[in-house]
Structure 1
Amino acid sequence: MRRGQWLAIGLVGTLVLAVLAGVALLASKSLWVSRHTPANQSAVAAVRAPDPRPSTVDYARLEQRIASLMQDRDMVGLAVGTVEHGRVRLLRGFGSTLAGSPGAVTPDTVFRWASLSKSVASALVVGLAANGKLSLDAPLSRLGTTLTLPGDFSRVTVTDILSHRTGLVRDAWDERLEAGEDPKQLRAALGTLAPFCAPGTCYAYQNIAYDTASEIVERVSGQSYATVAQTRLFTPLGMTHASIGEAGLESAASWAHPHRKGRVPTVVRDAYYRVPAAGGVNASIRDLTRWMLAQMGEAPRILSSQMLDTMHRPRVATPPHGPRGPMDRALLNASYGLGWRSFTYAGHALVGHRGAVDGYGALILFDPAEKSGIVMLWNSNQSKAARLQLEFFDMLYGLPRTNWLGMGTQAEEAEGGSGDAAAPTLPAKGSKRQK
C-alpha cells in the first residue's frame, strides 16, 4: 500500500476517534447535569407534562375568605401558596411584616417554620440512609449521640426518634429549653425521667429528643447541620430564602416580625433555634411551596419516591389530648410517620404538619395522589388561621361549603359566601391537633 493511502487511513482514524471522544464527553456532561442541578436551576421541575385538569378551587372566593381572616384582630401578616395537580395556582402575601409598618408581606418574606422543620430533619436522615451512610433501624446507642432515655433503651432506633416513640412524656422538658438550658445537657439527662411507656410502643410528641436528628446528621456527614440542609436540600430545590438559625431570619431583606395576641410585637426567641432539627428552619412561602412540590414527587433526584414513602408512611397512631375543635375532629385516622403527620379527610389521604413558636404559625397539608395542597405562614399567635386549609380542600374536592373559619364579611354572608353550614361536629376518631 502506498504511503499516501496509509496517511489517508490514519487521518480518517484520527477523526473517528475525535468524534467518539466528543460524543463520550457530551454524554458525560449530560449525565453530570442531570445529577447536579445548578442553584439557579431548581430541581423542582415539571417531571411530567402539567396536568391538564382545570382548577376546581374558586380562588376569588378563597382570597375573599383570606381577606375575612385578615380582619381578625390578632392577624398581622400571612403568606399563602397552593398547588393543584402539580401546578402552583396561588402565591401571595397579605398584611404586613410588622404591625403599624408599611412593610408588606410578599411571596419572598421570610417566616419561621417552627415544627415544619421536623420534615427537613427527616429528609436529611432518610437521605443519608438511602445513601448507605446509616440504617434507620440501627440502635441509637451505636451512633454516639447525647440522648439517654428511661430504662433500657438499647433497642431504640433512629426511626423511633423521628416518629416520637421514645417512651418519654409529651414535650419532655420543653419548659427548661425555653428557660435557656442547654439542649444537649437536657438530652443527656432525659434518662432520669420516669418512663411514659416502653420505648417504641406509643406516641408522645418531642422537641429536645427529636433534635437528636441534628446530632446524627452532623456525626454521619462530618458537617454542620445547617450546611448539610443548605447543600443537600435548600440549594438544589431552589429554596433561595431558606436557612437554619436566628441570623438567617433577621438578615433577610424582608422578614416577618413576631406578634402576640392583639397584634402586639414581641422579640424573636431563640429556644427552638437551639434544637434546629425540631424547629430551626426559616423560609418564605415560595420556598415552602417548592418544599411541598418536592414532597409530591416533583424533585425525584433529591427526594426519591422510596424516600417519600419512608417519611410519609404512618408509623404510630396519634391519640388526642386536650380539647379539640371541629377541624381536628374532621381529620380522621391521625398518625405520625417520620417528621410528617397523616390523616383521612372526606375519604382522601392527606399528609402534612403544623408548627407554632411564640409569634409565628405555619402549616402544610397536601393530597399526594392529587398532587394538590396548601401551605401557610403567619406572624402572630393566632391558631384560627389554620382552619383555612379545610376550606381549600372542600373547594378542591367539590364538597359543600363549610365555614371552618367561623367568620365572614357582610358581603360574603349576603352572597352565601360565609358557608352554607357551620363547622360540623363530627365523631372523634383518633385525631390530634397538629403541632
Structure 2
Amino acid sequence: MQFSKSALILTSLFTLLSLPVWADTWVDDFAKEMKATAKKKKLPGLAFVMVAPNEPTRFEFYGKTEKSGTLIDKETVFRLASVSKTFTAVFMAKQVKEKKLTWQNSLQELLPDYKFDNYTDTPILLQHIIGQSTGFIPNAYDNLIEANYKLPRVLHHLEKLDSLCKPGICYTYQNTFFGVLEEYYRQQKTTFAEEITNSIITPLKMPTASVGRKALMASKKWAKPHAAIDKNKWVSVRVKNNYYKYSPAAGVNASAADMEIWLKAMLLEYPDIIDKSMVDSLIKTRVKTKREMYRREWKKQLKDAHYGLGWRIYNVDDIEIIYHGGWVQGYRADVAFSPELGVGYALLMNAESNAINELTATFWKKQIEAHQSDALVGVD
C-alpha cells in the first residue's frame, strides 16, 4: 500500500500528538548527559528546571546539599549569584511602572550625598546601572568587595573613577554600582531585601526564595557551597557575606521550585504582577556584547549578542534567547528563556564548575533543533 505525502505528514502529526508528555527523547538524553557530566566531574549537587507550553514542569536533580547532607530536591535553596540581577531588573521595572522611580533617575538623584557627577558630562542613570553601560572599567573595584570593604567606602571610591566611554554607549559589566541601590533603600529607611520581597517574591508566592546570607542559612534545606581544590575534587566552604552586601547584584537565593515560578513569570504567566510591557523593556537590545560572541560553547550558533536591562540577549540560530549566568564562591547558576518558543530553563549548582557553560549551550542547541524539526513536519 502506498501513502501520499499529505497522508504521511498527517500520520506524523497524529503520532506526535499521541505521544505522552515529555516524550521528546532529546530532553531525556539531555538529562542523562547532564547527570553523567555531574558524576564524571564529581559535582556535589545540582537542580535543573524546564518549563514549556502545555507541559508539566520538568525537574531533574543530582547529588546532595553536601557530602553528609540530604538529597537535592525542588525545595533545596541555592545562591543565585549574578542571576540576582534579573530579579533586580524586574523589581526596578515594577518601581518604574508604579512611578516610584524612573529609568532616567541619575545616580546623583538617588544618592545626593555622593559626588557621582564629578567625572562625566553625561549623567549616569538608573538604566545604565541595570543595563551594564555605566562606561567604566569592567568589574570596577570588585577587589574591594572581595576584601570586604564597607559599602559607603566603596561608593566613595566610585566617585573617583575615569570613564572608558559615555554612559549608555558601551558594555562594561559591574557589581559595585549595584551598591547604589542598596544604599538608596537604606537611606529611604528600608532595605532592598524588604522592598524586592514585598514587590516581587511574595506576590509571586515563591515558596523558598529570599535575599541575604542569613536568609539562605535559615532555609529549611539549602545547598552548601563547594570550591575546587583539585581537578574534579570539591570541598565545602563557608558562605561569604561580601557579595551579599551588594544584594541587588548578587544577593538572591532560590530553589528549583522558585525558579519554575520565575521562568513562568518571564514567560508572562503572572501578568498581574509582571506584565508584557515590563519584560519587553528589559529584553530590548541596548549595548552590544562583543566578547560574548567568542564564547567557545556558543560560538558556532551565536549570531549576535547584546545586553538589555538585567538580561543578556542572544541570537542563537535566529531564535532569541534571554539569558543570565551567576558565579560566586561555591555556586554557579544559569537562567534563560525564549519568548518565541515559550520555553524556560534554569540550572543551579552548589559548585564552581564550568560544566554549566557547556550544559546550558547544549540544552538550547537541542531545544532549537527540536523546534526546527517540529516545524519541518508542517511543511508541504
Q: Give the drift of 1:102.
A: 4.4
Would the aligned equivalents of 1:117 and 1:280 in 2 still touch at CA under 8 Å?
yes
Q: Which residue of 1 aligns with 2:343?
A: 372
Q: Which residue of 2 aligns with 1:288?
A: 259
Would the aligned equivalents of 1:352 and 1:365 in 2 still touch at CA under 8 Å?
yes
Q: What amino acid maps onto 1:68 in structure 2?
A: A
Would the aligned equivalents of 1:121 and 1:213 in 2 still touch at CA under 8 Å?
no
> Against the structure 1 CA distance between its residues 150 and 286, is the aligned structure 2 distance closer, same or farther, given a 3 Å change threshold?
farther
Q: Give the drift of 1:328.
A: 4.8
Instruction: State whether structure 2 residue 328 is matched by structure 1 residue 361.
Output: no
Would the aligned equivalents of 2:225 and 2:331 in 1 still touch at CA under 8 Å?
yes
Q: TM-score, length-normalised on structure 2? A: 0.85
> Against the structure 1 CA distance between its residues 380 and 219, is the aligned structure 2 distance closer, same or farther, given a 3 Å change threshold?
same
Q: What amino acid maps onto 1:95 in structure 2?
A: G
Q: Which residue of 1 aligns with 2:192?
A: 225
Instruction: Find the partner of 2:287 among 313, 316, 328.
Output: 316
Instruction: Find the partner of 2:135 among 148, 167, 179.
Output: 167
**Alignment map for 1:152-231 (pairs within 5 Å):** 152=120, 155-217=123-185, 223-231=190-198
**C-alpha distance in 2, partners of 1:188/1:385?**
36
Would the aligned equivalents of 2:306 and 2:312 in 1 still touch at CA under 8 Å?
yes
Which structure: larger Rg? 1
Q: Give the drift of 1:198.
A: 2.2
Q: What amino acid maps onto 1:113 in structure 2?
A: L
Instruction: Find the partner of 2:270 among 289, 299, 322.
Output: 299
1:282 counterpart SS class: strand
Q: Which residue of 2 aligns with 1:67?
A: 35
Q: Which residue of 1 aligns with 2:100?
A: 133
Deviations 1:38-87 (A, max 9, x none): xxxxxxxxxxxxx9996546332122112211113351100000011264
Q: Which residue of 2 aligns with 1:346?
A: 317
**C-alpha distance in 2, partners of 1:353/1:326?**
15
What fraction of aligned residue pairs are identical, expressed as a percent?
27
Deviations 1:95-152 (A, max 9, x none): 1111x31411111100000001011111121111101122212333222254736612
Deviates more, 1:77-86 or 1:104-113: 77-86
Q: Give the drift of 1:168.
A: 1.1
1:94 counterpart SS class: strand
Gaps spanning 5+ residues in structure 2: where? 1-16, 372-380
> Against the structure 1 CA distance between its residues 354 and 52, is the aligned structure 2 distance closer, same or farther, given a 3 Å change threshold?
farther
Q: Give the drift of 1:170.
A: 0.4
2:159 counterpart SS class: helix
Deviations 1:320-376 (A, max 9, x none): 189732325533311111111100112101101000001100001111122102101
> Against the structure 1 CA distance between its residues 395 and 201, is the aligned structure 2 distance closer, same or farther, given a 3 Å change threshold?
closer
**C-alpha distance in 2, partners of 1:395/1:350?**
13
Would the aligned equivalents of 1:57 and 1:396 in 2 still touch at CA under 8 Å?
no
Instruction: Find the partner of 2:235 among 220, 239, 264.
Output: 264
Would the aligned equivalents of 1:97 and 1:105 in 2 still touch at CA under 8 Å?
yes
Q: Which residue of 1 aligns with 2:211?
A: 244
Q: Which residue of 1 aligns with 2:361?
A: 390
Gaps spanning 5+ residues in structure 1: where? 1-50, 401-435
Q: Which residue of 1 aligns with 2:376?
A: none
Q: What amino acid maps onto 2:140 in structure 1?
A: A
CA RMSD of aligned residues (A): 2.5
Would the aligned equivalents of 1:150 and 1:195 in 2 still touch at CA under 8 Å?
no
Q: What amino acid maps onto 1:174 in structure 2?
A: D
Q: Which residue of 2 aligns with 1:425?
A: none
Deviations 1:143-184 (A, max 9, x none): 225473661255221111111111210000101111110122
Would the aligned equivalents of 1:167 and 1:195 in 2 still touch at CA under 8 Å?
yes
1:103 counterpart SS class: coil
Q: What amino acid maps onto 2:105 in structure 1?
A: A
Instruction: State whether structure 2 residue 47 is matched by structure 1 residue 79.
Output: yes
**C-alpha distance in 2, partners of 1:74/1:191?**
44
**C-alpha distance in 1, partners of 2:300/2:241?**
33
**C-alpha distance in 1, partners of 2:135/2:202?**
36
**C-alpha distance in 2, partners of 1:177/1:70?**
30
Q: Give the drift of 1:315.
A: 1.1
**C-alpha distance in 2, partners of 1:130/1:326?**
37
> Against the structure 1 CA distance between its residues 86 and 272, is the aligned structure 2 distance closer, same or farther, given a 3 Å change threshold?
farther
**Alignment map for 1:89-104 (pairs within 5 Å):** 89-98=57-66, 100-104=67-71
Deviations 1:269-324 (A, max 9, x none): 11110000000001101101211110111111111111111111111111218973
**C-alpha distance in 2, partners of 1:180/1:352?**
29
> Against the structure 1 CA distance between its residues 57 and 196, is the aligned structure 2 distance closer, same or farther, given a 3 Å change threshold?
farther
Q: TM-score, length-normalised on structure 1? A: 0.75
Would the aligned equivalents of 2:131 and 2:307 in 1 still touch at CA under 8 Å?
yes
Would the aligned equivalents of 1:147 and 1:190 in 2 still touch at CA under 8 Å?
no
Would the aligned equivalents of 1:74 and 1:380 in 2 still touch at CA under 8 Å?
no
- Give the number of aligned pairs: 349
2:266 counterpart SS class: helix
Q: Give the drift of 1:200.
A: 2.4
Would the aligned equivalents of 1:78 and 1:95 in 2 still touch at CA under 8 Å?
yes
Q: What amino acid maps onto 1:364 in structure 2?
A: V
Q: Which residue of 2 aligns with 1:108?
A: 75
2:315 counterpart SS class: strand
